[in-house]
Each structure stands twice: as C-alpha cells, then as structure tokens.
A and B are shown apart, each in its own frame.
Chain A
Amino acid sequence: MPADGGIGASPKRREDVRFLTGKGNYTDDINVRGQAYVHFVRSELAHGHINSIDTGAASAMEGVVRIFTGADFESVGGIPCGWQITDRFGEVMQEPAHPVLAQGKVRHVGDPIAAVVAETYEQARDAAEAIEIDISELPAVIDMKAAVANSDVKVHEDLISNLCYDWGFVEENRDAVDAAIKGAHHVTTLELVNNRLIANPMEPRVAVGDYNSATDDHTLYTTSQNPHVIRLLMGAFVLGIPEHKLRVVSPDVGGGFGTKIFHYAEEAFCTFAAKACGRPVKWTSSRSEAFMSDAHGRDHVTKIELAMDAEGMFQALRTETYANMGAYLSTFAPSVPTWLHGTLMAGNYKTPLIYVNVKAVFTNTVPVDAYRGAGRPEATFQLERVIDKAAREMGIDPIELRRKNFITEFPYATPVAVEYDTGDYHATMDKLSEIADLSGFEARRAQSASNGKLRGLGVNCYIEACGIAPSNLVGQLGARAGLYESATVRVNATGGLVVMTGSHSHGQGHETAFPQVIADMIGIDASMVEIVHGDTAKVPMGMGTYGSRSLAVGGSAMFKATEKIINKAKKIAAHLMEAADSDIELKDGQFSVAGTDKSVAWGDVTLAAYVPHNYPLEDIEPGLEETAFYDPANFTYPSGAYACEVEVDPDTGKVDIKSFAAADDFGNIVNPMIVDGQVHGGIGQGIGQALLEQAVYDSDGQLLSGSYMDYAMPRADDVPYYTVDHSCQTPCTHNPLGVKGCGEAGAIGSPPAVVNAVVDALQRAGHDITHIDMPLSPSKVWSAMNS
C-alpha cells in the first residue's frame, strides 16, 4: 500500500472542499469595479444577407454605453483557425473568414450580429430589442451530402464550394485498399451517423474584459481550458495585442469537455470593448446562448467497409465520412475528423490496409469542434460497430473475432501512421470477461426474458491516442501550435513547493493528483505542494488541458522540473554534509550520504538555498526554482475492453442499461479514485450519446433541440453502477511517469458497447436489425422493431 498521498494512493480531492461548499472562484464570480454588461444580438435565421442594422433608437436608451456591430471590427482580425489540413490532392483547405461580429451575412442561428454594452444586463437586453436589423433570408445549407453535391447556395460566397477539404489517408493506400476489398472473401458494410452533441458543461461560458489605460495592459478573465492559447490566438491574430500586454486568467472552470478549448468571438469582443468603452465589460452566457454558440461535437455521416478472409482475419478497411464543420472553422475543428480520427482507424487490430476519406463540409449550423474524445469516439464507434456486424454475418463470436485480430506485439506500427508503444489487448479482454461475468450472461438473459424484457450483451474494444502531442509531428500535420507542456516548480525556504503548471484543471483534480507525484519523488507529504494554474501572468507558457494530456505531458514537465530541483538540492546537501554529489541519496524527505549515517532533511536544504550562509556559491546559484518544458516523443495509447448489458422493453422500445463494465489499461496510475471518476464520467457521457443526446436542426437551420426541454442530458437514473478496473497496466515507454491518460476513454469506448448490446438484444429476439443510429431513443428502437 503506497503511503497516503503518494503515487497510487487515493486521497480525497482537495479542490472539492471549495467546489462543494460554494467557495470556488468561477469566472462569473469575478466582477471588476465599474464593469458594464454586454448582451449579444444573435441571428434568429440560419442564413441571410444583412441589409441594414439601425442602432439609433437603441443607442439612446437608458443605460446604454455603446452598441457595436461588425463594422466596428473591420480593422481587427477574425477568429483564427489553429489547424490547416492539406487535402488528398495536395491543396490546403478552404478557410473562411470568421469575424468577431457578423459582417454582411449571418451564417447560423446564434451568429452574433451586434452587441450592446450597458450599465446593467437587463438594460442591454432592452436596448438589443430596439435594434432594427433587416436581413434577407437565404436558403439554409444543412444536409452535408447535399451541400457538397450542390454548391449553388454557399455558406461562404468567397469560397469555391461548401467543401472545406477532401482528405485521404493514407492516400497511397487508396488503390490497394480498393483492390483488397474487391477481392475479399467477405465485406461487411455499415452506414451510420455519429450524432451531433452539445457539451453542456455545468458552468456556461463567461468573459470579462478589463483595460488599464495608464499601463496599456489588457486582462481577459475567461472560462478556458488553455489561457495561453487564448492569449496567443487573440493577441496575435485578432486584436494585435502583444503577449506582454495581455493577461488571460481562467480560474475555477466548471467543466469543459473540449468546448472551452477554443477561442470564441465573445472573448475577443469583451477584450476589445473594454478598451473601446473605457471600462470593464462582462458577458455571461445564458444556457440558451450556450446551445447556439458553444462549439458542438461529433456530427459525422460515415460508410465503413471491412474486408475479411474466410477465417475472419481482417484484410482491409475503408471508411468515407462527411464531417460537419458548421458555419465557421472553430479553433481545432479541421484536425478532429482527420488526424484525431483517421490515425485511430486501426483500433486494436492488425488490419494491414486502411484508407480513410473525410469530406469536411460547411453548413449553416453552429461550428463543430473537439468534444471529449474528439475524433477517436467517431473512429471507435464505426470500427467496433462494423466488427460487431461482421461477426454476426460471419457467424463468429464477436469477442472471438476481435481476439483473432488483436495486435499482440509491441511496438506496433499501424498502417495509419502511428506506433503503439505498449498494450495487452487479450489481458484487458480477459479482465473484462471476469469483471463483467460474461459467462453468466445467458442466465441473466433468461431472467430478463421471464420478466418480458429483451436482454442483450455488447462488447467492444477501444484504443485512443492521448497525450497530444509531439510538436514536430503535429507541425507537419498542419497544427499551427506546439503541443508541449510546461511547469515551474518553486521551492520555498521552509520546504513547501508551488507548481505553476501549463495544464489547466476544470474539474480533473490536478490540485490533488499532481502533488502526489512530487510527494512521491521527494518523500514529503503531498500537502506541502500547491498547484497554480490558469493565469498567464503566473505560469509559464503552456498549452492547456484536452486530449487526456495533463498528466502524460504536463505531469512529465512537472516531473522534469522536479528532477532538476532534486539534482540541485543534492548538490546543496552534498555541500552541507561535505560529501560528493554522486554519493547523495534522497529518500523519505531526507538526504543521506550513501554508506554512512549522515543525513540532512529536505527542509534544511531548502532553507540553505534561500539563506545561503553555508552554501557552494562558487558552484551554484542560491534559490530553488526550476522550469521544464516537455515535448512528448509519441502519443500515448490507452486501451481497454468494455461490456454493456441492456434490457429492451419490447412494448415501448425503452432501453435500460443493466450493467456496464470497463477494463482499461491506462499504464501507471497516480490516483485510482480520480481515474475511477474519470471513467465513470466518460461512460456517462457515452451513454448520453448512445441513448439520449442529439442536436437536431430542421431543414431551415433552426435548432430544434435548443434547450433541456428537448436536448436530453443523461441523469443519474439513466446510468447503472459501473464496474471499472484498471489493474491491467502496460506503462507508457516514453514518458517519465509511464502514464497514458484516462480522461476520454469512457466517452470513446462506451457508445459502441451500448449500441452493440441493443442490436444484440433485438437480434436474439428475432428482429432483423443490424443497426440503429444514435441516440437509441425509445421511439427509434420501437420504430426499428416495428418497421
């Protein structure tokens, strides 16, 4: 049993004390003296030409400070995109302008047209209603295939079509894959939709802009997962503010799930308007606004084909996906259906030939970008669904078919350009079989049948690429950013430490888990370590938190910085004990000289660093503070096997999840309790996608599921008690902690398990149903059973 607080222990999350007692400091808790409030006038139409905007009457209303329109932003840049894709013909993607406020056209319901800054929020809303806007409605571009087939109506007139890019991967394999599929013993084909989701973090977005005219300093308080990224994108590309005059602060953030990675127009607006108005400007998103302005997730329409030989060995895989970009390119949108999706199409299997085609499409909908898993859930869903269908067509047990094709030797270079360092897919499947009691399924099915319910079992595997990412690699792939991470470790004179990390916690528990690593390295209590994050004025330039990267990349930077600290501290200790540096050992917070009983405590050494009366000043500087930037050598590859059992009510089509088991391999684990929680939350979101959630647009581009009255979030009674296990551990070989990341696994691995289970239940009951598109609402399941 590890010492309380070290690696492998599960201390309770220290940050929860303030989160759960109302003492958190969320962005909306921040109020700056003299602030005014902004209300955005948003388009009610999906697509239209703006003929005129008359703000005259509104400007004269009580409390109005100033009204802004697109014309006020003509002299600044647009919202930039952070990733450029090169298509299968070698051309760069079509990249439209994205103004802070609409210029000339509105392109989705929720597109901001004007903004009213007033003394109070209600006055801003009152004045907003008095603005007269004349828009000529245009036909809405909604259906992706139609949008590509016919670009008579274009979302962006200055582009040649509605196609952002046509990406092929690996393009050189295209003909070989075609040939292999043509000549295969059996080809299983599946057409499916990966439903559009809205992340709905508990805390809506907030932005507060502040400007000090005396110093020319700008400050933006914002709900961001990566304040330095916002500072760089907004400062350099939108507003032209040098980074040393722009501070971005993201304090406690109430959930992100990806949707708070991106740089949003409202952030640029508040920063710009604070200077223009000469006073702080605050925006707090309403939940209704969040539905139509937070980037959405997923929204792929896919056809996948799996070719097999007579024994069920996978020969080739071909997928063709239409990926919705929405009306503008959100920060990382182009990377999601390409490099975060195509590179995962090998899954856990030795498929020798793979070709992935992705057509990214502009539509008159809210921009789509990364959402928990980002591309990897879309890859896993189609792959694990087509394997399940293939197993049924081939008459092979679905688990057996997977096992036959498992990759078993590592490192393994896939045909889609990534190299898995470690993994043991049989081990996780064995573990799953045990914890899910798969052998007891038939008995449980009989029990369900006696209650008039149709029981089904769905099993699948997943692999993901986390710890994004080697900067030189992603640079070649089109990223306009590096994806290293940073940490400064500052040791205080009395031995306590402060870690300034570029990672950002918006619920992950870094303040608890990160100190466990340092406590373990030095042998001190974790309570001696404090984590500081979320403020560009305090922490070194970091890239933030997404893609399950915090511990694998940010934790590694912290590890490297702490190693530097320890090396220097050993030199000081050696001096204090009059020994050679190389003889100094650190254990349990004590420096000792090997082979002797001489020792000095951690606190003696840290004090000496800052009170250097007896100190090797000729060799080393006083003080104890180190910074490290860590750029990973590879992605990490968490993997696992999931099982879901459902009961379908044949009378209503309602699906009840009876059990859900997850056997994950996350490599080494720092805090098992937090990992359990991450898996629970991820599976909950995956069940949400599989059974409940869907953003629905009508053909006019109206968002029909624009509130919780129609957008179904999973609730406590929609999910079962989970059985999770992460005892299968093949440590990552290329980061110092051997960790892989666990934040997205649940959301990646669970949707196919649920759908596989429902299809299994229906087929066992004699229904000729091979697929139902998510969400598997009672109505859809019943309709499938009765069509």
Chain B
Amino acid sequence: MYAFDIERPSSVSEAVEALKNEEAQALSGGQTLIPTLKQRLAAPEKLISLTGISDMKGICEGAGGSVCIGGATTHGEVAEGASAYPALAELASHIGDPAVRNRGTIGGSLANNDPSACYPAAALGSGALIVTNTREIAADDYFEGMFSTALDEGEIITEVRFPVPECANYQKFVQPASRFALVAVFVAKYADGVRVAVTGASEDGVFRWTDAEQALNADFSVDALENLKCSEEGMIEDMHGSAAYRAHLVKVMTKRSVGAC
C-alpha cells in the first residue's frame, strides 16, 4: 500500500469540498478499494472517508412507502433493518461474508458497479432512485456498463430510494471461488409492471431482461418464461462459465425468482 492521507468529514458538504482535490478519492466501506490499495493497483494521495457522515447512514420510510437507505449504510444494516423490503434485506444478507457486510456500503457498491455485484441488480430491478449531493438519478439512467456509472467526478451517493414492490425475489448463482454472482437475477413485481434485472452475466454489467419483463407483464408465472431464451451475445466468458452457460443461467435464475415471488 502506498502512503496516503485520510480525511473523515462529518457532513456531505465537507466531503464534497474535500473531493474537489484532484488527488482525492472517496472511500466508503473499502471492500474493493482497500484490497486494490494493498496490491498497489491504485495510489490516491488522499482518501475521503464517507462513513463518518451521519446524514448518509440509516434506513427510513420515504414518500409513498418507499425504503430510503443512506449511501454509507452497511450491508449488514440493510439486512437487519430493511424489513419493509424483505427481498432487499435478503439480498443484503448474502453479500460477501459477515466481515464484508459489516464494512461494505450500498453507496460504495453502486458507485463501483462491479459487474458481479448484488446491489446493482436490486437497484435496477426496483427502479430505484439514486440520490446524490447534486441530483436524483433514475436507476435506468445510472448504470453505464462495467464499473461505469452516471456519477460525475466527486459526486457522492447520499441515499438510495427503493419503491417497495408487491413482491420481489433475488436468486444468486455464485461463482465457486469468489462467491460473487456468476449470474443473479432480481425480479420485482410492481403495480405498473414487472422488472427483471440481471447481474454477473453481461460484459456491460447489470441489465434488464426486457423479453422476460414483457412476458411476465402478460402473465406473471414461471410458465410464461418457458419459451424465452436469453441471448448469449455480450455475455461474460471465463474459466467459471461460457457465455452460453451464463445466458442459460439467466433464464434458470429468472424462473426461480418468479417461482419464489
């Protein structure tokens, strides 16, 4: 690890100010950034810790019964505290291991947008609103590909608002070594339609499987998916699975999500 300075602002405005320094890097739970630093793959001069900002922590009920989660809220806190959205709490309870869940945060995960992470599937699958220090971004506009998001330089996710669906379920098929999602599917059924978000599978990161959404809007049942086939084009191919395997798993996991919904 290279030497760095660390600042621990206590408000969002202080953090935003601190991040104006060109050499500064935001640090949330550090579950990706710290291992990266330890391997000397990044060399920020200054880390701005967001986990001391009390305004960015905690879970509350928002307008229309939505669940609002502060950007610096840990997975463990979501697993324990998001009972108003059981599928989300369940998803959070299976991210990493207890050590990861006690450190890693929802804002950190969404800002990083790892193509195999769990939270992007929940956010996209729920049509969540990503609230930052400057604006509100719809999930559909937020994810821009593997490790890429709509966030501007220095922009901080302060809160994520999840509308609570009639039912939802997340099915994760883990990569045997990392136990990140090899393929995972989040299905949420809202009054105005079904959303199906897939993580782990695509080279473009999390995506909505719109064919499945259409089929499920017409008939929300496992059978409705029977004749669908997810295209293997653009799917990740590595030692843990071919593109065809991942595409196949998208359908299997979607069926299981719907079946459990």
Docked-complex contact B40 and A125, CB < 8 angstroms: yes
Docked-complex contact A708 and B252, CB < 8 angstroms: no
Cα–Cα, bound, A691→B1 (Å): 35
Q: Given A125-B40, A129-B40, 17 more contacts at CB 8 Å?
A: A122-B1, A122-B3, A652-B252, A653-B245, A692-B177, A694-B239, A704-B239, A705-B239, A708-B177, A708-B178, A710-B178, A710-B239, A712-B176, A713-B177, A777-B176, A777-B241, A783-B245
Q: Which listed residue, A288, A709, A778, touches B177 by the CB 8 Å rule?
A: A709
A782 at the interface (CB under 8 A from B): yes
What residues on A are CB-neighbors of B239 within 8 Å?
694, 696, 704-705, 710
Cα–Cα, bound, A708→B1 (Å): 19
Give the nearest-CB partner of B173 in chain A: A652
CB distance from A61 to the nearest CB of B (A): 14
What residues on B are CB-neighbors of A783 within 8 Å?
242, 245
Docked-complex contact B176 and A652, CB < 8 angstroms: no
Docked-complex contact B241 and A288, CB < 8 angstroms: no
CB distance from A259 to the nearest CB of B (A): 19
Cα–Cα, bound, A710→B178 (Å): 6
Docked-complex contact A779 and B245, CB < 8 angstroms: yes
Docked-complex contact A692 and B176, CB < 8 angstroms: yes
Docked-complex contact A288 and B40, CB < 8 angstroms: no
A-B contact pairs, 7 of them (CB 8 A): A288-B39, A691-B176, A705-B239, A710-B178, A710-B239, A710-B240, A779-B245
Mask of B151-182 contacts with A, CB within 8 angstroms, 1/0 = 00000000000000000000001001110001
Tell whether A782 pairs with B176 under 8 Å between CB atoms, given A288-B39, A704-B239, A705-B239: no
Cα–Cα, bound, A281→B3 (Å): 23
Docked-complex contact A710 and B177, CB < 8 angstroms: yes
Mask of A771-787 contacts with B, CB within 8 angstroms, 1/0 = 00000011100110010
Cα–Cα, bound, A345→B176 (Å): 33
Chain A interface residues toward B at CB < 8 A:
122, 125, 129, 288, 651-654, 691-692, 694, 696, 704-705, 708-713, 777-779, 782-783, 786
What residues on B are CB-neighbors of A125 within 8 Å?
40
Tell whether A712 pairs with B177 under 8 Å between CB atoms, given A652-B252, A696-B239, A782-B248: yes
B interface, over-half SS: loop
What residues on B are CB-neighbors of A129 within 8 Å?
40
CB distance from A232 to the nearest CB of B (A): 37
- CB within 8 Å of A: which B227-256 residues: 239-242, 245, 248-249, 252
Give the nearest-CB partner of A718 in chain B: B176
What residues on B are CB-neighbors of A652 within 8 Å?
173, 249, 252
CB distance from B131 to the nearest CB of A (A): 31
Docked-complex contact B242 and A779, CB < 8 angstroms: yes
Cα–Cα, bound, A155→B105 (Å): 48
Cα–Cα, bound, A720→B242 (Å): 28
Cα–Cα, bound, A709→B173 (Å): 15
Chain A CB within 10 Å — which of B39, B177, B182, B240 has the most? B177
What residues on B are CB-neighbors of A713 within 8 Å?
177
What residues on B are CB-neighbors of A778 within 8 Å?
173, 176, 182, 241
What residues on B are CB-neighbors of A694 within 8 Å?
239
Mask of B1-15 contacts with A, CB within 8 angstroms, 1/0 = 101000000000000
Docked-complex contact B178 and A651, CB < 8 angstroms: no
What residues on A are CB-neighbors of B173 within 8 Å?
652, 654, 778
Shortest Cβ-Cβ A-B pairs, 5 listed: A712-B177, A779-B241, A712-B176, A709-B178, A651-B252
What residues on A are CB-neighbors of B177 within 8 Å?
692, 705, 708-713
What residues on A are CB-neighbors of B240 within 8 Å?
710, 777, 779
What residues on B are CB-neighbors of A653 within 8 Å?
245
What residues on A are CB-neighbors of B176 within 8 Å?
691-692, 712, 777-778
Cα–Cα, bound, A691→B177 (Å): 11
What residues on A are CB-neighbors of B40 within 8 Å?
125, 129
Chain B CB within 10 Å — which of A122, A654, A705, A709 has the most? A709
Give the nearest-CB partner of A694 in chain B: B239
What residues on A are CB-neighbors of B39 within 8 Å?
288
Give the nearest-CB partner of B178 in chain A: A709
Give the nearest-CB partner of A696 in chain B: B239
What residues on A are CB-neighbors of B242 within 8 Å?
779, 783
Cα–Cα, bound, A654→B182 (Å): 12
Chain B CB within 10 Å — which of A691, A694, A778, A779 has the most? A779
Cα–Cα, bound, A562→B229 (Å): 73
Mask of B71-82 contacts with A, CB within 8 angstroms, 1/0 = 000000000000
Cα–Cα, bound, A344→B43 (Å): 53
CB distance from A560 to the nearest CB of B (A): 47
CB distance from B30 to the nearest CB of A (A): 17
What residues on B are CB-neighbors of A712 within 8 Å?
176-177
